[in-house]
Structure 1
Amino acid sequence: MLKSIALKNAKKNKPPIWDIEDLVQYLSSYSVDTGNIYQVSRHTAILLLLCSGRRIHDLTLLRVDPEHCVKTQNSITFWPEFGPKTDNSEHRQSGWKLVCNNNNSQLDPIFWINTMISLLSCRREAVNSFKLFMTIRGAPKPASRTVISGWIKHLFKDARIQFSPGSVRSAVASKNWLNYPLDEVLARGNWRSSNTFETFYRREIRSSNETGNNMLSRLFTPVH
């Protein structure tokens, strides 16, 4: 009887996820005006998500003050504020160490982070904020998850990716799972439970080249 019930209510297979290499190719070729706050902010946001595989909300926890942002000639390390879903009294999100991409300036997170920090300096000073991402119009204030998601949504439309902005996390994790041990995938994405990753995020990649590397993942390292 139990077997019959299980067969009747069989688990549906998770739908496949898009291949991040399709978006990387688009980002490598489209034009970004380095003087346009919107274009630079949007481009920087998607690069950080593709490198790290973290949540869009986690971008709102990045700051540019010396306590939370440590720069060297070839790298930037962010120490996020307390606030992700996994943070508690015993666990904090790991730091984000990003390094230069000397092969392609379009995909160089260090170049775009520094460009955005410079462009938004006046808006930060106007409200005495150290947040990395700020709104780009109206009264200056830190950019919310909803605002950043809107940027990614418009970018997806331009790149013809018919998924939600939040799908980046699953797409990056699924790609990394093909190339890294499970423990490293969990550390990169700041997961505390492998069951959560396996149940909700790991999916088949909708691509003919599922063995391709996530080239941007090499530019990111979780640090403690």
Structure 2
Amino acid sequence: MHPSPGGEHTAMAIALEDYGQNQAPTEFDAFPGGSSLLRQAFRHRGLPESSLKIMLSSLSPGTLKQYNTTYKGWWKFCLEYHLDAYSASVPQVLQFLTEKYESSAGYSTLNTDRSALSLLVNTKIGSDDRISRFLKGVYRLRPPRPRYSETWDPTKVLEYLTSWPDNQDLSLENLTKKLAILLALATAQRVQTLSLIKIDNIQKTQSKIIIHITDIIKTSVVTKTQPVIHLPFFTQNPKICPSRALQAYLDRTTSVRNGESYLWLTYKKPYKKASKQTISRWIKDMMQHSGIDISKYTAHSTRHTATSSAKRTGVSMELIRKAAGWSLNSNVFAKYYNIPISDDTPQENFAYAALSSNS
């Protein structure tokens, strides 16, 4: 057991005396997993057993995976201090957060910890003013920073694709990867959203293709409509037109779908549904072949690139927010996405953009 900071009679020591140890995990209790831990926490609150599965379904698999990291650390902390994992006090939670802060955790991580523990601990962690004050202090001492201070120029990818043969002359592998990078850049959507495109939700009109996303995504809430993607036919350069690439991909994969309703298939037999991790790899492959340093940028950086480029060319903030799925009052773009192109961008791209805007 760690010595309590600040002497023998700290808030932690007092809280331990007040609480007791009747629900503390022991060295023989293995971490049961985040879902099991939450289920047991709901039982401790007297919730009906028949409601637990529905309540757990309110959390996406991604959120549960993220919270699981918090719960593993919390379980270890409770084991060390002989605490009840389900009914710890605010001083005990603050001790946990402080130890993580001292181990270099930043504001975003600790704020996620607060959200996770507010579901688990039978204490009002989410709204307690002491927890809020602590996190405000963390924000000032160790403010969150954007992942990227600069982004890459999308014209590198577009120029690379322009050198390729027409869609009908591409291998299925190249056509698949081409479509992945074009949709990522043209829509500014997360890879998760792109991975959920279903062929029955793709509608073609004379001037564009419209895609409705009906599955639950990261930003889905009851009061918010699902994303609708609009892809106009790009007549200036058909080789980089995402709508044409999409149509070619649908035509090419029709005979190998075997009833698969989702858009993306692996390009080798047995042509099964592609995961979002696979789609991310395709996008990174295209970035690398286009001369983008993938040691600095992930597939998600297409979102930064697309929105920042749109802003530079005069697209309104309202349209950028709508396309990217941010709320009207969101400041995410201003804080994390509106970033300059990296210094290695050729100067002629500026001239090209300036001349194009006046043509």
Please give the residue correspondences for 1:196-211 in structure 2 after superposition, counting only pairs within 5 Å: 196-206=332-342, 207=345, 208=347
Instruction: Tell me how far apart the structure 2 counterparts of residues 41 and 32 of structure 1 sit (CA, whole Å).
Output: 13
- 2:62 is matched with none
CA radius of gyration, larger in: 2
Distance of aligned partners of 1:6 and 1:119 in 2 relative to their CA distance in 1, 3 Å threshold = closer
Is 2:311 aligned against 1:180?
no
Is 2:238 aligned against 1:105?
yes
2:167/2:245 contact within 8 Å kept = no
Distance of aligned partners of 1:210 and 1:61 in 2 relative to their CA distance in 1, 3 Å threshold = farther
- Identity across aligned pairs (percent)? 22
**Which ranges of structure 2 fall in alignment gaps of 5 or more residues?**
1-137
Instruction: Tell me how far apart the structure 2 counterparts of residues 6 and 140 of structure 1 sit (CA, whole Å).
Output: 47
- 1:37 is matched with 172
How many angstroms does 1:186 deviate by? Answer: 0.7
- 1:168 is matched with 302
Instruction: Tell me how far apart the structure 2 counterparts of residues 205 and 94 of structure 1 sit (CA, whole Å).
Output: 27
Instruction: Tell me how far apart the structure 2 counterparts of residues 86 and 97 of structure 1 sit (CA, whole Å).
Output: 19
- 2:187 is matched with 52
TM-score by length of 1: 0.81
How many angstroms does 1:22 deviate by? Answer: 2.1
Instruction: Tell me how far apart the structure 2 counterparts of residues 55 and 210 of structure 1 sit (CA, whole Å).
Output: 27
- 2:289 is matched with 158
Distance of aligned partners of 1:76 and 1:9 in 2 relative to their CA distance in 1, 3 Å threshold = closer
- 1:27 is matched with 161
Q: CA RMSD in A?
A: 2.7
TM-score by length of 2: 0.52
How many angstroms does 1:79 deviate by? Answer: 0.5
Distance of aligned partners of 1:76 and 1:8 in 2 relative to their CA distance in 1, 3 Å threshold = closer
Please give the residue correspondences for 1:76-91 in structure 2 after superposition, counting only pairs within 5 Å: 76-91=209-224
How many angstroms does 1:80 deviate by? Answer: 1.0
Secondary structure (helix, strand or coil) at the match of 1:76 reads: strand
How many angstroms does 1:120 deviate by? Answer: 1.1
Is 2:276 aligned against 1:145?
yes
User: How many residues in Structure 1 have an aligned counterpart in Structure 2?
Assistant: 206
1:82-115 C-alpha deviation (Å, 9 max, x unpaired): 2221112221332112121222121122221111
Pick which of 204-213 and 13-22 moved more. Answer: 204-213
Instruction: Tell me how far apart the structure 1 counterparts of residues 164 and 268 of structure 2 sit (CA, whole Å).
Output: 23
Pick which of 21-30 and 181-190 moved more. Answer: 21-30
How many angstroms does 1:159 deviate by? Answer: 0.9
Instruction: Tell me how far apart the structure 1 counterparts of residues 335 and 176 of structure 2 sit (CA, whole Å).
Output: 32
- 1:135 is matched with 266
1:15/1:204 contact within 8 Å kept = yes
1:63/1:131 contact within 8 Å kept = yes
Secondary structure (helix, strand or coil) at the match of 1:18 reads: coil
Is 2:147 aligned against 1:16?
no
Instruction: Name the structure, 1 or 2, with higher relative contact order (CA <8 Å, separation 6+).
Output: 1
In structure 1, what residue type is equivalent to 2:299?
Answer: P
In structure 2, what residue type is equivalent to 1:41?
Answer: T
1:163-213 C-alpha deviation (Å, 9 max, x unpaired): 221110001111112212222211111112522222222212224456948
| Larger fraction in helix | 2
Instruction: Tell me how far apart the structure 2 counterparts of residues 33 and 53 of structure 1 sit (CA, whole Å).
Output: 22
- 1:190 is matched with 325
2:157/2:286 contact within 8 Å kept = no
Instruction: Tell me how far apart the structure 2 counterparts of residues 210 and 196 of structure 1 sit (CA, whole Å).
Output: 26
Instruction: Tell me how far apart the structure 1 counterparts of residues 139 and 250 of structure 2 sit (CA, whole Å).
Output: 54
Distance of aligned partners of 1:33 and 1:78 in 2 relative to their CA distance in 1, 3 Å threshold = closer
Instruction: Tell me how far apart the structure 1 counterparts of residues 326 and 145 of structure 2 sit (CA, whole Å).
Output: 24
2:167/2:239 contact within 8 Å kept = no
In structure 1, what residue type is equivalent to 2:156?
Answer: D
In structure 2, what residue type is equivalent to 1:203?
Answer: I
Distance of aligned partners of 1:70 and 1:12 in 2 relative to their CA distance in 1, 3 Å threshold = closer
